[in-house]
Amino acid sequence: MEFGPHLLLATLEGLVQASVLTLTALGLSLVFGVMRVVNVAHGEFYMLGAVLAWFVTSMIGGSAAIGFMAALIIAPLLVGLLAALADWLVLRRIDYDPERTIVATIGLLYIIQQVTLMTYGPDAHPVAPPFNTRLALPWFEFTDGGLSMYWPWGLSTTSYKLFVIAAAIVTLLALWMLMAKSKLGLILRATQLDGETAQAFGIPVEKVYALVFGMGAALAALGAVLVVPIQQAHYLMGDDPLLLSFIVVIIGGLGSLRGTVVAAILIGMSDGIISVFFTPTLAKILATLLVAMVLVYRPNGLFGAKPA
Amino acid sequence: MKSKTLLSAAPTRRNVLTGLAAAGAATALPNFARYAHAGSDAPIKIGFQVHRTGIGAAYGRWYERTTNAAAKVINDAGGINGRPIGIVAEDDGTDPKRGAEVLEKFANQHGCDIAYGTLFSHVVIGSAPRAAELKLPYFVVSEGHHVASGMLNRYTLQPGITDVKSQVQAMAPFVADNLGKKVTMIYPDFAFGHNHRDFFSEAIAAQGGEVIAKLAIPPTETSFTKYFPQIPRETEVIYHVMVGPSVLTFVKELGEFFGPSHPEIFGFIDSLEAVDFASPGLEFLEGTHFWEGMPRYAQSNQTDADKFYRAAIGIDDKGASLDDPKDVSTYAHMFGCWETLYTIKDGMEASGYKGPADRQSLIEAVEAITDMPEGREHPQGAKLFNGKTHQVFGPQYISKVEGGKLVVQHTTSIEDGLYPDEVDYTAQSF
């Protein structure tokens, strides 16, 4: 494939990956920002979103579009509720102590993964996309007759992949509105700034924590529901997103939503483009190297706040 | 003050639960434990290393169903040397390290007579050295060339399924004559895929063809479009073989990449094992060709043995489970389990196998086997076993997708897949 079409294809693939990664990493970043805890089970909430999407679509049956729309609402909601419950039953009782939370969420990771293995099984299952038209893309070249258009072999995307990108942008805007403009956003930001003072002002911090933990998990689940018609639901699919989300959150700055979005696009796009032109392994090597460099030279991330 | 003994007058909830768990564990001991010191009618224990979880899980499930079905048929017919066979299944997680541990459990904990059943080549390669150390006969059902290449040892045998080198050598003339000579290969990046890469490149060169690009994909990959731009424009044939949980995604994205105008496509059915051909997005496969170890769809000239075999496992004419038509089997591979168990039976009967002391004579007896006629014991077709290389040779099937079904176009002969010996295991000491 020639360079131009090749680059366009790489960019499109990278954008799809960046969209899903942005949602997943935002969930992780939100939880860290407000609660100051690291959720190692985040990838499993992502996986649960995909698996629940499969359950919902296969139970509803009928048209793929209806099943998918239902999954888009039900799966993140259920995963969010489950995460809030886990927060209430486990994290609250260990006082959100950072080290103990890590151990507790590792335990949660194994429980979710193994229960999924025991119920859903070890096989990958597909979810039908609501719509999926192949869109061949044209390219331009200079010939003797001037500029002409042609259709390179393999240069294409699907309508569903474009939908994933659009859906991610809409979710991002909604989340930004929620954080910046609503009363709930104000409460979240107050808790993030200083939990104890917030409590003194009558904010039910424990409930806010449960809500945030649930929201973070629901964001991961939403990303997974969006990706599952492209990939498939599998009980081990949470490992990669967890690693990539950590990379994104470290580069962007823990707790900085703006930094998370920028870093997710950076990592998602570079992963797409580097894997297309070179190898996927090189993309992972470079991303991890970037993490190391950020930790050395900007320990708070590209957009992280300086420690007080 | 409350004493902390298990016999306290008022048991707490916790110690009751502990006690219940212990009692549960005791009753859950395998039935074979009862035969531990029994006489000659105790079961022959076959340790079954099965990929219940990990990337081989779809194969593992069907290997297990086939194994249990074959064991039942053998036992209903009187077992081996008058003793029933008992299958001791252990999950290896499709992981080489766990694979070696599982062999140890078979030998030391379960007291198995032999070990059997592994598919994925990296698990075989990781486990086989341990089998030799434990002096445990290890019958693999793996397709890899590692047995016949001489890489393993005298305790490891592959009498139920042909190896990749033989398969691609038998296929290559069909590809070169009917589909094209400039081939791009897409294969998983581990031992099994490397076998395909090396031996198909050789085999197509011998037919005057050439492999113009090689795309190695990690077996745990979940998204594939990014690899496809490496396919050169002048490609005449795409040769694909993929494994792992994302095979359906792989084939779907291949179709989306090419759209309406794709080159000829020749796939190993591995890329679609356990996947329904009616899945959305696979329509473009119509008219493409596949290698099949054994035809998934019952053909017009179906043999009595194939009918019997399908019925014994519970599979319909489309290769799916009778209970659930969406539960598609790994039909092209799992016959290897059935046939291997029958070869074990033949070997044990020929050597008068009684117990672990006879393990070496069992291996010698299997090494002495040559012809395996087609029939209920070998439903995939007649085979020829090479005792020196511990590898079996048999027919291969090339099928074309017609009306959403695989229809056999060409069956290769045993001779098409033969190649010179690379090792003589019989010359190695036990």
Kindly give the residue spans of alpha helices, DSSP state H, lying in B79-163: 96-104, 121-134
Burial of A39: CB neighbours in 10 Å, binned 0-12, 13-18, 19+: buried
List, in sequence order, every residue forming a beta bridge with B315; answer none if it has no partner: B321
Longest dimension (CA), chain B: 90
B206 pLDDT higher than 90? yes
Count of C-beta atoms within a 10 Å radius of residue A84:
20
* pLDDT mean across residues, chain A: 88
> Strand B405-411 vs strand B397-402: parallel, antiparallel, or unpaired?
antiparallel
Q: Are A199 and A40 in contact (CB under 8 A)?
A: no
B8 pLDDT higher than 50? no
Count of C-beta atoms within a 10 Å radius of residue A204:
13
Q: B430: closest CA among B45, B139, B137?
A: B137
Q: How far apart are CA A27 and CA A245, in angstroms?
A: 9
In terms of CA atoms, which chain A residue is nearest residue B93? Answer: A122
CA B373 to chain centre: 21
Domain ranges of chain B: 40-163+335-391, 164-299+395-417
Tell me the fold of B164-299+395-417: Rossmann fold (3.40.50)
B38 pLDDT higher than 50? no
Q: Does A272 touch chain B (CB under 8 A)?
A: yes
Is residue A168 in some structural domain? no
Q: Does A13 touch chain B (CB under 8 A)?
A: yes
pLDDT of residue B130: 96
Does residue B92 or residue B21 have the better pLDDT? Answer: B92
List, in sequence order, every residue forming a beta bridge with B211; answer none if it has no partner: B183
CA A13 to chain centre: 16
Distance from CA of A263 to the nearest CA of B (A): 21
pLDDT of residue B15: 54
pLDDT digits (tens, 9 = 90+) for B241-299: 998 888 888 999 999 888 888 899 999 998 899 888 888 788 889 999 999 999 999 99
* CA distances (Å), origin B361, targets B43, B116, B160, B203: 19, 17, 19, 37
Residue B298 DSSP symbol: P
pLDDT digits (tens, 9 = 90+) for A264-305: 998 888 887 887 788 778 888 888 898 899 889 888 888 766
Is residue A11 in some structural domain? no
Does residue B261 or residue A68 have the better pLDDT? Answer: A68
Residue A178 DSSP symbol: H
Quote the ipTM score: 0.81
Tell me the fold of B40-163+335-391: Rossmann fold (3.40.50)
Of A6, A122, A134, the CB nearest to B256: A134
A187 pLDDT higher than 70? yes
A252 pLDDT higher than 60? yes
CA B305 to chain centre: 20
Is residue A54 in some structural domain? yes
Looking at residues A93-115, what average pLDDT do you find?
Answer: 92
Residue appearing with tokens 């924590």:
A209
Contact B279 A275 (CB under 8 A): no
Could you give the number of structural domains in chain A? 1
Of A117, A230, A281, the CB nearest to B53: A117
Is residue A63 in some structural domain? yes
Find the helix packing angle between A205-227 and A239-252, rounded to 10°: 120
pLDDT of residue A150: 74
Contact B231 A124 (CB under 8 A): no
Quickly list DSSP for A170-225: HHHHHHHHHHHHSHHHHHHHHHHH-HHHHHHTT--HHHHHHHHHHHHHHHHHHHHH
Q: Are A261 and A252 in contact (CB under 8 A)?
A: yes
Burial of B241: CB neighbours in 10 Å, binned 0-12, 13-18, 19+: buried
List, in sequence order, every residue forming a beta bridge with B45; answer none if it has no partner: B86
Domain that holds residue A57: 18-130+176-297
Residue appearing with tokens 């995939």:
B380
Q: How far apart are CA B194 and CA B172, in angstroms?
A: 16
Is residue A159 in some structural domain? no
Two tokens at B274? Answer: 């356990």
Q: Does B50 touch chain A (CB under 8 A)?
A: no
Residue appearing with tokens 């009595």:
B304
* CA distances (Å), origin A159, targets A125, A133, A298: 21, 5, 39
- What sign for the dihedral angle of Cα B82, B88, B94, B96? negative
Q: How far apart are CA A207 and CA B7, in angstroms?
A: 43
Contact A123 B57 (CB under 8 A): yes
Q: Does B257 touch chain A (CB under 8 A)?
A: yes
Kindly give the residue spans of alpha helices, DSSP state H, lying in B266-386: 304-313, 331-351, 359-367
Looking at residues A228-257, what average pLDDT do you find?
Answer: 87
A254 pLDDT higher than 80? no
Residue appearing with tokens 């297990």:
B64
Is residue A145 in some structural domain? no
pLDDT digits (tens, 9 = 90+) for B313-366: 999 999 999 999 989 999 999 999 999 999 999 999 999 999 999 999 999 999
pLDDT of residue A75: 95
B6 pLDDT higher than 90? no
pLDDT digits (tens, 9 = 90+) for A70-93: 999 999 999 999 999 999 999 999
Two tokens at A127? Answer: 């979810």
Residue appearing with tokens 């942008």:
A169
Of B53, B60, B226, the CB nearest to A13: B226
Contact B280 A128 (CB under 8 A): yes
pLDDT digits (tens, 9 = 90+) for B148-167: 999 999 999 999 999 999 99
Distance from CA of A284 to the nearest CA of B (A): 13
Chain B CB contacts of A158 below 8 Å = 256
Of A154, A232, A240, the CB nearest to B245: A232
List, as ranges, residues 201-260 from A with C-beta within 8 Å of B.
230-232, 234, 236-237, 240
Contact B231 A154 (CB under 8 A): yes
Contact B60 A122 (CB under 8 A): yes
B4 pLDDT higher than 90? no
